[in-house]
Structure formats: structure tokens, C-alpha cells
Chain A
Amino acid sequence: MADPLLSVKNLSRRFGGIVATDDLSLDVVRGELHAIIGPNGAGKTTLISQLTGQLQPNSGSIHFAGRDVTRLPAYRRSALGLARSFQITSLLKDFTAIDNVALAAQAHDGHSFRFWGNARKELHLRKAAMAAMERVGLGQRAESIVSELSHGEQRELELAVALASKPQMLVLDEPMAGLGVTESARMVKLLRELRREVTIVLVEHDMDAVFALADRITVLVYGRVIACDVPAAIRQNPEVRRAYLGDQQVVTHHG
């Protein structure tokens, strides 16, 4: 496998007696859409929090774009081109939608120790933000306060914020969580377009979406990788079926 953009080796993270990430290794190749699935409590969010730096692993390593980022804080990884969205929408609720996105653009446009000029009048930041907003279909809602947006719009805004930083890799934590049928369909369509431009790691519970979008799927159970393969092979994998797909355990959205 040539040139993995993201390479995780023997990653472990414990919370007290619970092993949330258990000797986990994973490669994500440049240009692919790599989905991570697993039953509730499999440690998916814990894993991606370690990928993007919100959480430190107990052991193991993470390389991104050829660099060891294991101990880098989140803001440094973001500067390297690793952007994430959050499972539970995490936006600046009292800001306008476009301010949220423009701040992401600003973060990657030199330092922000500028105390005098009006940042909202910096045209190139506004334009970059607007482009990202239109990319996700939120162009009309730019000036709305985030707390006034619908849940679906907030999910799309999460994506616009991540896009505005022009990342090399998008790590999306359940972008479809809580979305209705039509909203989900729109999100799938959007992700299908985005995957042509950027490498994506997608954590998602919506199996239809995952199998429709993913180049490869990694299946997590109790913090361990039990399978990593193309969708067709995952569908056939007996262990996966037993752990996850086959029996009608709750394959719904959680928290």
C-alpha cells in the first residue's frame, strides 16, 4: 500500500479499567474514503479524538503526512491539514454561520494577533467562507446565528467549517447523526462530491451511507480492529456479521 496519508500503529487508550482503544493499527491511503464502523461503545469517537488531538493515547503512534503527530496538540494538527467535525454539533452557537466558517479560514491564513482591522471586512476570508458555505448548500443562511439554524443545517455547517481550512484529510464523526431521510440523502450526495477532493475518514452508523460511500471499511469492536477491507468483503466477513451486521442489534444512532 503506497503512501498512507494517515498511519496509526499499536494505538492504545485506557479509561480506568476500560480499554477504549486496544493495540489498534490503521492506514488511510491518500484519496480514499475510509469508513470506521462498529457497535455502540466500540471506541470510534475515542479513536478519532486521538487522531485529531483532543485526546492523548497511552501508547502507540500516529503519523500524518509523513510526520509523527502523536503528541501534537489539536491546533497544530489542524495546521498540518487535519480537520474534524464533531458527532455532537460543536459550533460557536452565538456567532453567525459565516463567522464560524470565516474563523476556520482565518486560522489558516497567518497568525491572528491582529488587533486593529475589522476581521469581518477582510474580503478574502469572507469569500473563502462563503465558498465553503455554498459548497454545503448553506449560502442563503450565512448571516443567521448558529443557534437559529436547524439541526440539519448545523451538521452541514460543521462540514463547511472543516472544509474552510482546506484540509488534506477530513475526519467526520457521524455527520448524519440525527438527520432525517432527505437530509441524510443530501449529506451522502455532498460527501460523494467531497471525496473526490479530499481524503475522508468517516465514522458513521448509517450503514446504507457507509456502504454506498466507502472505499474501505474498518470494523471496530471493543477498541480492536476485527476487519479492514473493501465493502463487499466486509459484507461477507463472518466475524463482522456476528459482531455487528447480522443479528438485528440496535443499528441506530446514538447520542
Chain B
Amino acid sequence: MTVMFNVRSVVWALVIVSLMLLPLYSSVSGNIFILTLFTRIVIFALAAVSLNLIMGYGGMMSFGHAAYLGIGGYAVGILAYEGIGSGFIQWPVALLASALFALVIGALSLRTRGVYFIMITLAFAQMAYYIASGMARYGGDDGLTIYKRSDFGGLINLSDRTQFYYVCLACLFGGIYLVWRIVNSRFGLVVQGVRSNEQRMEAIGFHANRYRLVCFVISGMMCGLAGALLATNTDFVSPSIMYWTRSGDLMVMVILGGIGSLFGPVIGTILFLVLEESLSQVTEFSGIIIGPLLLLIVLFARGGIDGWLGRLRRG
């Protein structure tokens, strides 16, 4: 029952409540910028949560996760460009395309382990990047502007800043809830067991890669959703959304916040993007601060910020 009273849960409650009340603060104070920033943060947090599912719980170090951001984003962008504006088509297509991509990439790269897995996922993501750069019809390198946001037939209006923010937040909370259910389910225990000792899991009767692959696909779909949100947020999608440094950013967010922790990636994302944003006003080399910070976390606070909070008892 100590869980109820430790610093970590207090921080979590604060973060959740702040995220929920943010639009209120934004409209009262007239600070629109903070709502824009946090919409972006919430979207990236969803991507980080999805990466954490395979990286933290599944032990799969994917270095190509940004590819799904691109696939989700381009699915929405291309459909909009081709005149299919309904969100009821755009978004399922985004999810489906991400799932399909994850299925193919996963089936191939899960034959490898360790460094090879990192390299092969990176290679596939870069392939996706160059394919997007080559799509002349959809802007190539310059990207594709989305002139009209997905139409959900009056159900929700994505063009309304506040509504869109809450849609993103609902997706994030939904994603976290899904991950929570999954990691405690039969499926989740198997996936974590495989991370811990694959040989043992095979010996007691589990076909490890089948479970890994399904986990990989679920994670890809979640990240594809984040991609659709991200493209909607900027009304624009370009190949740079899936450049390899972006995959690296996602990994940093997860590791900062706490790999294999349910909420960790959210706080990692907040820290990363807020730092990036505020440092960008001082220097264009935000990595000078974020890099050493990551180093400190990895060296001294295993389990990231969330792990560190968990060790701070209040009394």
C-alpha cells in the first residue's frame, strides 16, 4: 500500500491533472503557445508509450520507430490530398497501413537479435524515409500540406484547438491503459518472459517470435496513430517526420522517463520537448544539454526519472 503514498504517485496525479486542465489555463491566460506545445508533447508521448511497449516490456530495441509516425501521417495526408476527407476512412487506413508495415518489418527483423535488430529496423525506417522523399506526387522532399483536417461528420471538430488537444490526450490515456492491460495479460507475461529468457520460454512451450511479432504490430499501430495526430497537428507531413534522428529522439524520451515503466515515457517526452523548446531560444544545439542529461540518467538513475521517483519515499 506504500504505492498510495509515494512521491511517484503524487507526481503522476499532478501530471495527469495538469494535462487535463491545460486548455483551461491556456484560454484563461491567453497563452495559446503552451497549448500548441503540449499538443505536440501529448502526441509524442503516445509514440514514446508505443515504443516503450516493445522496448521496455518486449526487449526489442527498435531504432526505426519514427517510420510509423510517417506512415500514419502520410496515410492521412495522401487520403486528404486525393479528396478522401472522412476521418472514418483516413484513420483506420492509417492504423492498418502501420500494422501492415510492422508485420512485414517485424517478420523480417525479428529473425535477428541485439545490434542486428537495431540496425535492420533502422535500415527499414530509412527506406521508408527515402521512399517518401521520392513520392513526387505527394511533394517529395518538400512534404505535403494537408488543407483540410479529417472530417468526423460533426462528431468532433479537429480544427478546434481545444477539441483536438483532448482527442490527442484521450488517445494517450487510451494508449497507456491499453499497455497496462496488455502487460498484465497472458500475452504480456509471455512477451516479458521472452525478454527475460527466450530459451526458457521456448522450452516451456512458447513460440517466442510469434508473440514478439504481435507485440511489434500493436506498438506500430499505436505509433501510426500518433503519426496521424502529428500530421493533423501541423497540417503537414514530410519525410523528415521519419528521419532516423526522430527514432533516436523517441528512444531518448523513453529512456529519460523510464524504460519499462507505464508512465515513464510521458514524463520523458515532457522533459525532452520542453527542454528542446526552451533551449531552442538560446542555442540551436539543444543536444549539448540533453546529451549529458541522458548520460547522467543512464549512469546514475537506471529506470529513468520514473524509476528515480519510485525510490523517493515521502516518509
List residues of chain A with CB under 8 Å of any chain B CB: 52-54, 73-75, 78-79, 83-84, 86, 90-95, 99, 103-104, 106-108, 112-120, 122, 161, 165
1/0 per residue, CB under 8 A from A, across B198-232: the answer is 01111111111001001000000000000000000
Q: How far is the CB of B182 from chain A (nearest CB, A)?
A: 5
Is B311 interfacial (CB 8 A cutoff)? no
| A117→B185 contact, CB < 8 A | yes
Out of A92, A113, A161, name the residue touching B187 (CB < 8 Å). Answer: A113
B189–A93 CB distance below 8 A: no
Is the contact region of chain B dominated by helix, strand, or loop, or is it mixed? helix
Query: If the complex has contacts A114-B186, A115-B181, are A103 and B199 also in contact, measured as CB distance less than 8 A?
Result: no
**Minimum CB–CB distance for B302 against chain A, Å:** 13
- The answer, yes or no, to whether B139 is at the interface (CB within 8 Å) is no
Q: Closest Cβ of chain A: how far from B25's Cβ, in Å?
A: 35
State whether the Cβ of B143 lies closer than 8 Å to any Cβ in chain A: no
Q: A120-B184, A161-B204, A165-B204 are in contact. Are A112 and B196 (CB under 8 A)?
A: no
| Residues from chain A with Cβ under 8 Å of B182 in the complex | 115
Complex interface: chain A residues within 8 A of B202 (CB) = 53-54, 73-75, 78
What interface size band does chain B fall in?
20 to 34
Q: How far is the CA of A119 from the CA of B191 in the complex (A)?
A: 13
* B175 contacts partner chain A, Cβ-Cβ < 8 Å: no
* Contact between chains at B185 and A115 (CB < 8 Å): yes
Cβ-defined contact, A106 with B186, below 8 A: yes
Q: Which residue of B lies closest to A112 (CB)?
A: B186
CA distance A119 to B193 in the complex (A): 13
CB distance from B115 to the nearest CB of A (A): 22
A79 to B205, CA, bound (A): 6
What chain B residues lie within 8 Å of A113 (beta carbons)? 186-187, 211, 214
Tell me the nearest residue of chain B to A171, going by C-beta: B203
> In the docked arrangement, what's the CA distance between A52 and B181, Å?
33
Compute how far the CA of A147 lies from the CA of B164 in the bound complex, rounded to whole angstroms: 47
B190 at the A interface (CB under 8 A):
yes
Contact of B196 among A79, A92, A108, A165 (CB under 8 A): A92
B197 at the interface (CB under 8 A from A): yes
Q: Are B189 and A107 in contact (CB under 8 A)?
A: no
How far, in whole Å, are A79 and B203 apart by their CA atoms in the complex?
Answer: 9
Given A54-B199, A94-B196; A104-B205 close (CB under 8 Å): yes
Q: Is the CB of A84 within 8 A of B181?
A: no
Q: How far is the CA of A78 from the CA of B205 in the complex (A)?
A: 5
Contact with A along B244-264 (1 / 0, CB 8 A): 000000000000000000000
Q: Give the 9 A-B residue pairs with the shortest CB-CB distance, closest first.
A: A78-B205, A107-B205, A92-B196, A119-B186, A104-B204, A74-B202, A112-B186, A114-B186, A75-B207
Q: B11 → chain A, closest Cβ, in Å?
A: 24
List 16 A-B residue pairs with CB atoms under 8 Å apart, sorted by A's residue number.
A73-B207, A74-B203, A75-B202, A75-B206, A83-B203, A92-B196, A92-B200, A92-B201, A93-B196, A103-B204, A108-B205, A112-B189, A112-B206, A116-B185, A117-B186, A119-B185
Which A residue's beta carbon lies closest to that of B189? A119
Beyond contacts A52-B203, A54-B202, A92-B200: 7 other A-B pairs, Cβ-Cβ < 8 A, are: A90-B203, A93-B197, A103-B204, A104-B204, A106-B190, A115-B181, A161-B204
- Selected contact of B193 from candidates A84, A95, A122, CB within 8 Å: A95
B64 at the binding interface (Cβ < 8 Å): no
| Chain A, residue nearest B191 (CB) | A112
Least CB separation from A164: chain B residue: B204
A116–B182 CA distance with the chains assembled, in angstroms: 6
A105 CA / B197 CA spacing, docked (Å): 17
**Smallest distance from the beta carbon of B92 to chain A beta carbons, Å?**
19
Q: Decide: A78 near B204, CB < 8 A? Known: A95-B193, A118-B185, A119-B186.
A: yes
A138 to B199, alpha carbons, bound, how many Å?
A: 23
Tell me the bound Cα distance from A207 to B121 in angstroms: 51
- Interface check B303, CB cutoff 8 A: no
- Asked whether any CB of chain A lies closer than 8 Å to the CB of B188, the reply is yes
B181 contacts across to A, CB distance below 8 A: 115-116
Tell me if A165 and B205 are in contact (CB < 8 A): yes
B189 and A106 within 8 A (CB):
yes
Determine the residue in chain A with the shortest Cβ distance to B208.
A75
CA distance A53 to B204 in the complex (A): 11
- Bound Cα distance A189, B188 (Å): 36
Q: What distance in Å separates the Cβ of B80 from its nearest Cβ neighbour in chain A?
A: 32
Task: Provide the bound-state CA to CA distance between A103 and B193, in Å.
Answer: 8
Q: Within 8 Å CB of B185, what residues of A? A: 114-119
Q: Which of A53, A107, A165 has the most CB of B within 10 A?
A: A107
Chain B residues near A86 (CB-CB < 8 A): 199-200, 203
- Least distance between A14 CB and chain B CB atoms (Å): 22
Residues of B within 8 A of A92 (CB): 193, 196-197, 200-201
**Complex Cα gap A94–B196 (Å):** 7
Q: Which residue of B lies closest to A84 (CB)?
A: B203
| A112→B204 contact, CB < 8 A | no
Q: Is the CB of B187 within 8 A of A112?
A: yes
